[in-house]
């Protein structure tokens, strides 16, 4: 494991409450874990290789459930795989239309 450093930050109380809600709901073990994940997402979005375009899409819960069903049915091995397949099919259909 990489060495870690302690960093102190100040955040607004309403944002702290939202982070605590994530911990209380069981989504994260601690506020530090939530902040670390947010930092990972931020860093990945800023430092992707130049030859890769990264797109972030927020999906409604129903769409995520559909993707999870594709995995359960064996049509995809992961949500990432299901999304890649959907994008591939969408791109093929658009290319045919032009």
72: containing domain:
61-97
Does the pTM exceed 0.75? no
Give domain status of residue 3, yes or no.
no
User: What pLDDT tens digit does each residue of the chain (98 aa) get?
Assistant: 678 888 899 999 999 999 999 999 999 999 999 999 999 888 887 777 776 676 777 778 888 888 888 888 888 888 888 888 888 888 888 888 76
The Cα 72–Cα 74 span in angstroms is 5
Task: Assess if residue 34 is contained within a domain.
Answer: yes
Q: Does residue 20 form part of some domain?
A: yes
Residues 69 and 93 in one domain: yes
- On whether residue 26 sits in a domain, the answer given is yes
Compute the distance between CA of residue 88 and CA of residue 52 in angstroms, rounded to an integer: 16
Structural domain contains residue 55: no
Domains: count for the chain: 2
Q: Establish if 22 belongs to a structural domain.
A: yes
Is the CB of residue 34 less than 8 Å from the CB of residue 28?
yes
């Amino acid at each position: 494991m990489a060495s870690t450093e302690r960093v102190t930050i100040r955040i607004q109380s309403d944002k702290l409450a939202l982070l605590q809600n994530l911990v209380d709901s069981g989504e994260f073990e601690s506020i530090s874990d939530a902040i670390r994940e947010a930092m990972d997402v931020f860093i990945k979005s800023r430092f992707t290789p130049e030859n890769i375009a990264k797109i972030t899409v927020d999906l409604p819960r129903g769409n995520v459930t559909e993707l999870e069903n594709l995995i359960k049915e064996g049509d995809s091995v992961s949500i990432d795989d299901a999304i890649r397949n959907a994008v591939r099919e969408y791109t093929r259909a658009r290319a045919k239309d032009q």
